[in-house]
Chain A
């Protein structure tokens, strides 16, 4: 069993598991932090961005000034943003049989895998995952395609040139594999390969393994996966949450008794408690708006935004913010808000019960109804007519490199009355803000990450007790910035095995058993014999039939009666030799008694043709690693007694060998 690790990002995993005869890809997350190296794509012509000076080498060489621009001491690539794909060279991705998706954030690289690697398998995901994943992809494609960029920079990627660049460009990894965003056509094609599944549904893969999605409590439709055969169980835990937010709670019980538990997607901000952060978010929002400032919340169109809106729904009246407009701007804003209301079966119990009242599960429906929350596909069109300040705007993309957020950053960045509040934990807010410097607006960092923290992981592992834990290397040591916080790492016994990008891990367990079915008529013919109380044995003669990874013992065909005079024999007619079988032996040989028997002549079996009646007097016993060697020096004979075999090495005296064999057999049971 092997695990191929294709992604180095612990929360955007992409691993391939080879288990029995199947090749299963676990998630295909897309690392978008690479876009932070690029200049933002402004929706409206930005003189500031277009007039940034080109970057030149220390010696004044300015051959890169078309590709690289400088802003407040940072250098950015002036080109269409590119993404860092999972490893494609480590394993032939056309051999991947299935892809299991755990949540909509972890499928963003899907089009790259399904459309460009020769992949011919099936993708499994839950319905909300697919629908919201589609929205995220659609938004991404839309954000990038609606700001066409004539220029595509590639010179800087040259390894010799990259060396000369300032950090962080100099340290960016695998820049040659970075790719531009996929197209909507590729998205549609990739999504068409997905087969929808429900929680706890058992899916057979070629009869060899069974995969089952379980609720992971993190997002709508988010799942952990169980991959199991009859005797082995691998759990894949990715992006799970134990907090009570909108999704169905996490199913922990089903993860019990795993041989291996692959653990990814823990919280990216282990020191921040989501409740505290929500409080911080609300307080800062209220303070800004009261001062007449605007609040910008760069966010994804689904996920935490639902909880934030719910929280604000309860908060705005108490904070006296009822008259402040809330805007949600995204090409998929409408679909996201509406989708959230129709996936009732994927919601937590409280929200599910609302559906039967019937009421919308999320209170943002009421915010929309009362005109407190308005949503628009983009800043163009209706929005510009309705726009009223001070206001709160939720919009993407959290990287601040593309999407409507770029416009608001340009618009509001100059006033210290305004505030940008970062709630998505995927991007470093300082790096995200770098191309907007100098910036007057206030920046508040309230990352809300509801995924498991290390305390919860420790409890979870105690609860489900896997034999082995496998996780990204980042989880096996405290974060570099807080190296003294020994509680910010996975602590389990045996220690977790760690992996990093482009590493192949041999998972630490061997398959010992395979389930074999026995046909009823064959079972009928067995005659068990009790060899000790409670244990019966029977010999079986049968044909092992293996098809689709299923093994069946069938009765042996009867020996074909020779028909006619022709004795033609075809290979397929080969039948096992049905000779009379020797009895099977069981038991162990007690060496001391065996030696005594050898020494005592009276105990020797009467062998009429042997005159020699005295016993062996020169017996030596040696202990070996596997058992014992009994040495009959005079007779130049060795008897090797091991756990599962006995050898009598007696060169020239067949009679003696037979005699000794019989002696050995005396100590064993036969049937």
Chain B
């Protein structure tokens, strides 16, 4: 331990044990405990106590004091646990202190026990302490296990849960030692402590009170989730009959916990030894109600290794609700549905019809579970893609009221589901997930038609529309390409022709969320299809690009930001303007650059400005035609605007843009010489040829530096280096380090280390560092820049910045000082915050 800390410790212990000097801040105590944990992990606890007798004294004084706060008592219990985790130290404390802290004579019997913090501290102390066989004996001797049993039903959920975990820990510790390797279910072979706990679990499992059953199941779930000894297999052999007996009760008690336990056991090493588990799982699936069985079925299907019959049964459970819906909505007996022609389970139908909330809950769960299952490699095979598509479409049609079921069940389902946003959202998500698999053409047509119906319907809420847009995008992007042709297939083109007027209308919606989702959809679609002739043709024939541009003036900042991104994307692909006139090619797009610059300089909200910076960075990276005309001027203007921005993300993005610019001038990061300018691979066609003139062919470093000086990149970077927001400073530091590394091996052109320019720059930088950033740097010579770069300790600065902002304050010494100082001033100014 730091000698300074050792010096401060007695005073702090005195403060802690003094009820007249309450510690105001709980987090200090937590930090203190963390520190002691670190100290004891690094060295001997016994030595620590011997060198700092004030610590033991503190524990004694806490025990003697009557009116100490519960938080100090709790702290002391945990502290004692930390020390006693080492066996020699445990022996040292065992004689008097530990029984007084954790035994019946301690807080356990006193008034302090009513505070949950004390009970929690007691449990946590024991949890830390129980690391060695001596601890087990101590626990047995002081009767702690019985107390833990009772704490399982504690009124504080934290205490109750910690008690359960402590039991698991003790059980694991007891079985880890001499009993390790045995898996006999015979109790007589097990250590007494373990026997006691297992008997308690057995009793609880047989109890008629559901809370006790729940506690036992939760403990077992933790055992099988965290303990990996062979003994767990024995434990399961012993307890599984009791667990199976729970299934005989109606209703099955604590079904959620039971499902958790069974899944936990199934994921453990038990199945390799006990094939009966699969039978229990199968029974459970058939005993639980459809709503309760869903999570179990999903869990079973996620298992890597499990009998096919059980998987089939579990999949059947997940499919049941949708199968019932399909059956109820069927106009005429059609092809075999989801369950291969088997009729829907009457119990599921009952749940679906009993109330709106039950119906919605069951359907949403089924849809979500199936959606989660879809992308997994272990999903059931064959995957009933076509009936599932049919079911999702049917659910959506029932929700929109556009299907007219003839059956009684169908009619009632329709009445329950019509207009139900939750089911609509879940079904649209599921439909989106299904886009990963193909489907018969007829089903896919139905999917597109129902999606279009939702996108068109004035009844669709903004959230439903967002989901509909997302699902549509997924289906569009997964639509097959026509063989031998790189363009969109005719069906997709037909759909696009219907979709774009809808999108157009949605972009005019009075609801900003809808406009926003529409723009996001457009951006994504353009990103993927900007080069497809079919898409380009359809888009240019519509008013969507024009409307998108108008939304740059939207009153809602999120929409403006999305409009910036969308127009940026459209412009990248040359889709923003109407076919340009031959005399003034790109006239429209130029104005977009001006418009976006205006947003960057004038928009009052951060989101649109950040979006502009991202678009500009992308444009620069991809060699956008407008940027390529005069990249220097472009970068200079953008950096100038970004450097004044109040939003640190805009400034950070400015550095990103600067880095891209550097990359274009000097070659990408990683290569050491500016010998080539790498062209991005994913750039839109047509713009590549007009890449930056300065970059190709590569100029010398001196020329590059000249350019950087002209665009005032250094002023921007140096300013950012002393930015009050750490990420900006870090990014700038990286940039300058990159620049220095690039320049170093290429020799030093025209060194100007001693020129007056360098001195004045350094002086200015010092002032900037001190917070006076008013003065500009003025025009910099490349030589001066390089000299300044070499003179600044960029590595040191990077290391400082890498530390978190409170690294100085985080040292233990500072913690102790702060705690003492806080106590000192507490009486005078109670309102003072830490």
Contact = CB atoms under 8 A, between A and B. Distances in A.
Contact of A282 (B459, B510, B553): B510
Interface stretch (B72-80, B398-406, B609-617): B398-406
Contacts of B512: 318
Interface stretch (A484-492, A497-505, A533-541): A484-492
Contact of A482 (B401, B406, B505): B401
A287 B504 contact: yes
A273 B459 contact: yes
Interface in A341-393: none
A317 interface: yes
A283 B460 contact: no
Interface string A278-295: 111011101100110000
A10 B693 CA distance: 76
B510 A484 contact: no
Given A484-B405, A484-B411, A486-B412, A315 B550 contact: no
B418 A287 contact: no
Given A271-B401, A486-B414, A311 B510 contact: yes
B505 A278 contact: no
B505 A283 contact: yes
A584 interface: no
Contact of B554 (A283, A287, A318, A484): A318
Contacts of B414: 484-487
A583 interface: no
A494 interface: no
B418 A280 contact: no
Nearest to A455: B419
Nearest to A453: B419
A282 B508 contact: yes
B457 to A, nearest CB: 8
Contacts, number: 75
A271 to B, nearest CB: 6
A520 interface: no
Interface string A484-527: 11110000000000000000000000000000000000000000
A271 B556 CA distance: 30
A592 to B, nearest CB: 47
Contacts of A276: 457-460
Contact of A283 (B457, B510, B555): B510
Nearest to B514: A279
Contacts of B811: none
B407 to A, nearest CB: 10
A271 B547 CA distance: 30
Nearest to A274: B458
A290 B547 contact: yes
A277 B510 contact: no
A272 interface: yes
A274 to B, nearest CB: 10
A512 B554 CA distance: 66
A259 to B, nearest CB: 29
A319 interface: yes
B458 A320 contact: no
A290 B458 contact: no
Given A317-B555, A482-B401, A279 B418 contact: no
B458 A314 contact: no
A287 B414 CA distance: 34
Contacts of B509: 279, 282-283
Contacts of B460: 276
B556 A318 contact: yes
A17 interface: no
A250 interface: no
Contacts of B510: 278-279, 282-283, 311, 314-315, 318-319
Contacts of B504: 287
Given A278-B510, A484-B414, A320 B553 contact: yes
Interface string A307-340: 0000100110111100000000000000000000
Interface in B264-323: none
Interface string B533-565: 000000000010011001001111000000000
Contact of A485 (B415, B505, B511, B546): B415
B506 interface: yes
Contacts of B554: 318
A35 B412 CA distance: 39
Contact of A487 (B418, B457, B550): B418
A484 B404 contact: yes
Given A290-B547, A482-B401, A283 B506 contact: yes
B406 A484 contact: yes
A318 B555 contact: yes
Contacts of A286: 508
A487 to B, nearest CB: 4
A280 B509 CA distance: 7
A299 interface: no
A629 interface: no
A290 B553 contact: no
* B458, B509, B511, B555 pick with most chain A CB within 10 angstroms: B458
Given A286-B508, A311-B510, A484-B406, A273 B458 contact: yes
Contacts of B412: 486
Contacts of B416: 487
Contacts of A284: 505, 508
Interface string B401-431: 1001110001110111011000000000000
A320 B401 contact: no
Contacts of A318: 510, 512, 554-556
B515 to A, nearest CB: 8
Given A290-B547, A314-B510, A318-B556, A279 B401 contact: no
B508 A485 contact: no
Contact of B550 (A277, A278, A311, A320): A320
Nearest to A288: B508
A36 interface: no
Nearest to A282: B510
A284 B509 CA distance: 9
Contacts of A461: none
Contacts of B419: 273
A263 interface: no
A448 to B, nearest CB: 11
A516 B646 CA distance: 80
A654 B416 CA distance: 74
B715 to A, nearest CB: 38
A291 B555 contact: no
B164 to A, nearest CB: 43
Nearest to B505: A283
B726 to A, nearest CB: 37
A446 interface: yes
Contacts of B550: 320
A249 B467 CA distance: 34
A628 to B, nearest CB: 48
A282 B511 CA distance: 10
A19 to B, nearest CB: 35
B565 to A, nearest CB: 18
A284 B501 CA distance: 11
B547 A277 contact: no
B462 to A, nearest CB: 9
A486 B411 contact: yes
B561 to A, nearest CB: 15
Interface in A117-155: none
* A282, A290, A317, A319 pick with most chain B CB within 10 angstroms: A319
Contacts of B411: 484, 486
Contacts of B418: 485, 487
Contacts of B555: 317-318
Contacts of B508: 282-284, 286-287, 290, 319
8 contacts: A279-B509, A283-B509, A287-B508, A314-B510, A318-B510, A318-B555, A482-B404, A487-B414
Given A271-B401, A287-B543, 20 more contacts: A271-B459, A276-B457, A276-B458, A276-B460, A279-B458, A279-B510, A279-B511, A282-B508, A282-B510, A283-B506, A287-B505, A290-B547, A315-B510, A318-B510, A318-B554, A319-B508, A482-B404, A486-B414, A487-B414, A487-B415
